[in-house]
Structure 1
C-alpha cells in the first residue's frame, strides 16, 4: 500500500504527495548566494532517480538573496523550501527531517555540483546493499584557480575541503569516511529518533566546532551500522577563492582542533592539569611555536605553513578545553 505524507510548500498550502519508492535530498543554506545558482543549475541537469524525489532546501536565517534564488527554481525542481531561523546547520537539517519522504534521505551542501547520475547511483547502492544503512560517494574539488604549492604540500584536503581520497574504491567503508556533501541515510535511522547534534557544525560564527555530520556517523558506528561507498556517485565541491587563503585554512585547522579535543579521546581526567587544562597541551603549543621558528630559519616556506597549521590545531584544542572547563565549573 502506498503511504502518503503532507508537506508544506512555499505558499504554505498543503500538498499530498506519494512517497512510494521515493527519496528526499536535503541541504541547508546560510547566505549561500555565491554558490547556490551553480548548485541548483547542476540539480536541474540531474537524471531523475527511479520513482519520485524531492529537494528540501532549508533557508537557515540568511540575510542575502538566498531565499529569492531558491524561489526562482521552484518551477524547475521538485523543491520544498522551509525556514529555520535558529542559526546552525544541524538545526536546519533536523527541521528538514520532519519533511522527508521515501526510504532514503540524501544530504548535501549548497556548494556542490552533482554528477548527472549521482542520485541514480546512490539509490542503486541502497537497493543492492540492504544490510547497509549509510552511503556515500566521491567528493571532488572544483578549484576556481590552480592551487598554490603551499596548499598542495601534504595538507589534509579531506579535512579542509571534504575531498575524498582518490584511492577509495566501491565497497564497505568506515562510517567516519561518509561526509556531509555526499551522504545518504536510510530513513529508518531517523524514525528511530536519531538527529544531528546541534552543538557542532557551522552556525554563522568564525570559531564553530567542525564535525556536524561526523558526530552523527560516530553514533551510527557505535550502533554497529555499516557504510557503503559508491565511487560512481560523484559531486564536485565548489571551492571559493577566499577558501584558498592561508587565513581561511588556518581557521579551519583551529575549528578542527576543537573537534579533535572533544571527540578524539584527547581528554584524560588522570593527566596533570594547569588552570584546569591538561599540561601536555601547553607543552605541545610551546613546542609548536619553537618549530615554526625553526622552519623559518630553514627557509622552507611550505614547512613554515604546515608548522603554523599544527599550531592553530593545538590552539583549537586549547580553546575547546577551556570551554569545557568553564561549563564544568
Structure 2
C-alpha cells in the first residue's frame, strides 16, 4: 500500500465532518491508500459521521476507550500498511494535492524518512491581527504554524503534529510516549515532537515540503487568553522531557532547579505588573512567559513526588 493516513478524534463530530469532506477532494488517483481513524471514546455523533463517510473514503476505524491521544494512536500503529504514513489531526484540512506532494518529495529525497507539510492556521472571525501574524512568538506552539524555510529541503526544526509523514520502515518497533500529549486534565505537550526527535537521534533529517499544504482550524476558544495561558503551561510541562533538560546538572530544590524557582518568581512578578498597566498583547506575552516556567516547575514537582 502506498499511503496510510492516521489521526485520533474525540467529540468533534462537526469538525470531523468538515475534515473528512476535505479528504474526499484529495488527488489520490492511482494510489492505494487507507484512512485510519481512532475514535477515542467519543460520546457525540462522531460514529455516525464516520459511518456516513465509509462509502466515500477507505476508512479503517477503531474505538479506543482508554485515556490519552498517544495511547489511542499506539493502538493503531500495528495496523498501518502504507509505505509512507501521514500523521495528522481531526481539525486539519489538507489541500487537494497535499498527499501527492508528500509522495513526490519522498521520491526526490529517497534517503530521507521524515517529511513536514506547510501548516497555515485558519483563524475564526474576530481574531486580533497581531495574534494572526507570524510575528506573534507563541504562534507556532498555539496554532502549529509551520513554515521553517522558503524552499523544500532539510531544516533544523522538526515538523508539527497537524501534518507530517514518515516512512513506515523507519519507525517499526517505535511508539508514541504515552506520558505526553492530550489526555484528561493538564498534561505535558510534545508527543509528536518526542517521536520525531527520537527518529532524528537515529540520524534522520527533517525534510520540509512546502508544496504539501494544510490548514489548521483554530477554534474560537483557542484565541482567548485563558486557553493560550493553559497551552503555555502544557508546553512548559513538556519542556521537562527535552534531552537538553535531562542532561543538565543543577542545584535542585524538591526536584526542580533552583534557577527555575527564581525564574518562576521573576516571571510572575513581571506578569502581575503587566496586568496593571500593559496592553492586551503585552499582558498575554508576560502571562505566557510565566506559564511556560510555571508548567515546567509543576511537572518537575509532580515527577519528583511520584519517585520520592
Give the Cα–Cα distance (whole angstroms) in 2 for the partners of residues 80 and 158 of structure 1: 31
Aligned pair partner of 1:68 in 35, 41, 48: 48
Output the CA distance in 1 between the equivalents of 2:42 and 2:288: 31
- The yes-or-no answer on 1:80 pairing with 2:80 is no
Q: Give the equivalent residue in structure 1 for 2:215.
A: 236
CA offsets 1:35-56 (integer angstroms, 9 cap, x no match): 1011000001111154211111
1:189 maps to which residue?
Answer: 170
| Residue matched to 1:202 | 182
Root-mean-square deviation (CA), in Å?
1.8
1:180 aligns with one of 151, 158, 161: 161
Structure 2 length as normaliser, TM-score? 0.93
How do 1:94-243 and structure 2 match up within 5 A?
Answer: 94-149=74-129, 151-152=131-132, 154-165=136-147, 167-174=149-156, 176-191=157-172, 193-203=173-183, 205-243=184-222
Match of 2:284 in 1: 305
SS at match of 1:132: coil
| Alpha-carbon distance change, 184 to 307 in structure 1, aligned in 2, over 3 angstroms | same
Q: How many residues align?
A: 306
Normalised by the size of structure 1, how large is the TM-score?
0.88
Name 1:279's counterpart in structure 2: 258
Distance in 1 between the 2:281 and 2:243 partners?
A: 27
- Which consecutive unaligned segments of at least 5 residues does structure 1 have? 1-18
- Evaluate the alpha carbon distance shift between residue 97 and residue 275 of structure 1 in structure 2; reply closer, same or farther with a 3 A threshold: closer
Deviation, 1:294, is 3.4
Q: What is the deviation of 1:72?
A: 0.9
In structure 2, C-alpha distance between the alignment counterparts of 1:221 and 1:206, rounded to whole Å: 30
SS at match of 1:180: coil
Which of 291-300 and 315-324 deviates more?
291-300
Q: 1:209 to 1:164 in 2, by over 3 A?
A: same
| Secondary structure in 2 matching 1:98 | helix
Distance between the aligned counterparts of 1:62 and 1:168, measured in 2?
Answer: 39
Q: Deviations over 1:183-223 (max 9, x none)?
A: 111010233x11111111112x2311111100101101110
Cα distance in 2 for partners of 1:143, 1:299 equals 25
2:98–2:211 contact (8 Å) kept in structure 1:
yes
- 1:299-328 CA distance string (max 9 Å, x none): 333212211111111110111110121122
Quote the offset at 1:277 in angstroms: 2.3
The whole-number CA distance in structure 2 between the counterparts of 1:201 and 1:135 is 21
Larger radius of gyration: 1
